[in-house]
Amino acid sequence: MSKILNDTSKFLSFVLRHEPQAIGLTLDSEGWADIASLMEGAAQSGRAMTRDLIQQVVDTSDKKRFSLSADGLRIRAAQGHSTGLVAITHPEKEPPEWLFHGTATRFLDSILKEGLRPGERHHVHLSEDEQTAAAVGQRYGKPVVLRVEARRMRQQGFRFFQADNGVWLTEFVPVQFIMKGAT
């Protein structure tokens, strides 16, 4: 991916997930921003971007990080939010038997004591495949993939949701549903 696309993707993640107020942007509770307002706020912050560039970022995002509204006028981050202004109603779904969480080895002791917590974000993020989870874990150090007994959790009343981009979300994973090591 070119530098401009990568930089713009990071900037959009920052304002659409974490700090819309940094450019005077308003998100609705479902996370949607008006693209014209986004472009205006970005330009005023010295980050001018064209509609075409935004479209390219959406189209080339490996993780499908952003969604456009059907009318093409609005954009949102599919998941990963920390801003308290957004509470997306992700559809609740029956998860597969196993889901995977990638983390760094240095977090293992704490996770195996406390369970998986959402941290700054609204949910714990889980993947359907181990490769994706390993790549997520790599961002923080030596990666390790944890297996989560998602189906059994759900049977015991824990709720699972799926974001626009396929990432699985849940509020908390207690330690008794976590296993170290891949399948």
- Give me the residues that bind ligand HQG (CB under 6 A), please: 13, 63, 65, 80, 103-104, 107, 110-111, 114, 116-117, 119-121, 125, 136, 140, 167
Q: What is the rounded distance in angstroms from the CA atom of residue 90 to the CA atom of residue 46?
A: 33
- Spatial strand order of the sheet with 99-104 comes to 99-104, 143-148, 178-180
User: Closer CB to ligand HQG, residue 120 or residue 129?
Assistant: 120
Distance in Å, CB of 119 to ligand HQG, minimum: 4
Distance in Å, CB of 144 to ligand HQG, minimum: 9
Here the tokens at position 111 are 């996770």
Distance in Å, CB of 153 to ligand HQG, minimum: 15
Rg of the chain on CA atoms, in Å: 17
User: Closer CB to ligand HQG, residue 40 or residue 172?
Assistant: 172
C-alpha distances out from residue 54 to 10, 11, 129, Å: 12, 11, 28
User: Closer CB to ligand HQG, residue 16 or residue 23?
Assistant: 16
Distance in Å, CB of 170 to ligand HQG, minimum: 11
- Spatial strand order of the sheet with 33-34 comes to 33-34, 74-77, 66-68
Chain centre distance of CA 37: 23
User: Closer CB to ligand HQG, residue 121 or residue 151?
Assistant: 121
